[in-house]
């Protein structure tokens, strides 16, 4: 291993989404659903791995990591419960203030690659680089009713996370239950912190911003199965706190496709209800599997899409 890296112990992340439901059906995190789609098992959700980075990034950036840190990751390979994961972070930021991050399984299979940095400049993040390379797509079928620049019909959405609050069908557990299984806990998550109370764990910020996503009005064709392909969590005036009220504003900032998937890129801004100042921003690149939508070819023909192009 390189002497220039901070390296975590191997951890076994836990699967907590076996009962997840959205759009009236089980998700890819259900074992049977994953098996039907050709996967070896139900994958653990990508942001679960973010917790293993927190002690390393806290060592690199200090307490500022919690107030203005940014983690940006492209997910490479799925992890199923029982597999071990190790995370790596560069010890020192480069001239732009950026460090490279990565995670791998025990056998060396890559799990994710990305960047971490501090604001207010943040630098060119992993997702910034990937979005810059996207080409406009004219062949979307599942996402054909969505447009870049589209705002959430529920804007602004009111949201909060209490310690014992069940987070709904998409995340059928509470923050307290997550802390019982989290790969790397932190004293700031459990009680008092420099900001006067428990901090929402990094991986649970995704849960907070997805909690009310059903109000967004971003309707795609389905039922179809989606998975996280990339994610960025950027603290602007953090941290986000347990028991505090927030507002969410959503916007589609990109649409794309590959041979197997169609992807939307949604930016969610987390605002203070009183001042309306932005506390954090989250970008989620969610990829929907074309083969999981039974009417894909029929809808493509009805829309005049040339699937051979």
Q: Which residues pair with 251 in a beta bridge?
A: 151, 267
What is the phi/psi pair of residue 136, to 5°? Answer: -55, 140
Given a contact cutoff of 8 angstroms between Cβ atoms, the answer to whether 110 and 104 are in contact is yes
Question: How far is the C-alpha of 231 from the C-alpha of 244, rounded, in Å?
Answer: 23
Question: How far is the C-alpha of 167 from the C-alpha of 250, rounded, in Å?
Answer: 19
Place of tokens 């790596």: 88
Question: How far is the C-alpha of 283 from the C-alpha of 268, rounded, in Å?
Answer: 6
pLDDT at 24: 46
pLDDT at 271: 98
Place of tokens 């071990």: 84
SS3 state at 130: helix
Instruction: Judge if pTM exceeds 0.95.
Output: no
Displacement of CA 258 from its chain's centroid (Å):
19
Number of other residues whose CB lies within 10 A of the CB of residue 106: 11
Angle of helix 50-61 relative to helix 202-210, nearest 10 degrees, comes to: 120
Question: How far is the C-alpha of 226 from the C-alpha of 262, rounded, in Å?
Answer: 9
Strand 98-105: give its sheet, edge to edge. 5-7, 85-90, 98-105, 110-118, 69-75, 226-235, 278-289, 261-271, 245-257, 157-160
pLDDT at 169: 78
Cα dihedral sign for 157, 115, 118, 14? positive
CATH number for the segment(s) 5-302: 3.10.129.10
Number of other residues whose CB lies within 10 A of the CB of residue 190: 12
In the chain, which stretches have pLDDT less than 70? Answer: 1-3, 17-42, 309
Question: How far is the C-alpha of 214 from the C-alpha of 176, rounded, in Å?
Answer: 24
């Amino acid at each position: 291993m390189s002497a220039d890296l901070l390296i975590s112990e191997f951890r076994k992340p836990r699967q907590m989404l076996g009962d997840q439901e959205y759009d009236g059906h089980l998700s890819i995190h259900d074992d049977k659903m994953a098996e039907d789609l050709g996967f070896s098992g139900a994958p653990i959700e990508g942001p679960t791995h973010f917790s293993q980075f927190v002690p390393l990034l806290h060592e690199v950036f200090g307490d500022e990591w919690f107030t203005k840190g940014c983690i940006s990751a492209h997910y490479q390979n799925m992890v199923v419960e029982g597999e071990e994961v190790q995370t790596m972070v560069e010890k020192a930021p480069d001239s732009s203030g950026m460090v490279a991050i990565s995670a791998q399984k025990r056998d060396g299979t890559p799990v994710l690659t990305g960047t971490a940095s501090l604001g207010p400049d943040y630098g060119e993040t992993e997702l910034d680089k990937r979005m810059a390379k996207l080409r406009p797509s004219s062949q979307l079928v599942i996402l054909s009713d969505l447009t870049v620049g589209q705002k959430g019909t529920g804007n602004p959405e009111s949201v909060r996370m209490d310690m014992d609050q069940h987070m709904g069908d998409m995340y059928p557990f509470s923050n307290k239950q997550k802390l019982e299984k989290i790969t790397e806990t932190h004293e700031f998550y459990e009680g008092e912190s420099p900001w006067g109370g428990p901090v929402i764990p990094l991986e649970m910020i995704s849960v907070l911003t997805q909690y009310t996503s059903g109000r967004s009005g971003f309707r795609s064709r389905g039922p179809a199965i989606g998975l996280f392909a990339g994610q960025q969590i950027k603290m602007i005036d953090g941290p986000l706190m347990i028991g505090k009220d927030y507002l969410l504003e959503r916007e589609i900032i990109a649409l794309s496709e590959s041979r197997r998937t169609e992807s939307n890129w949604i930016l969610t801004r987390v605002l203070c209800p009183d001042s309306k100042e932005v506390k954090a921003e989250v970008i989620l690149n969610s990829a929907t599997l074309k083969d999981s939508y039974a009417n894909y070819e029929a809808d493509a023909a009805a829309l005049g899409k040339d699937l051979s192009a």
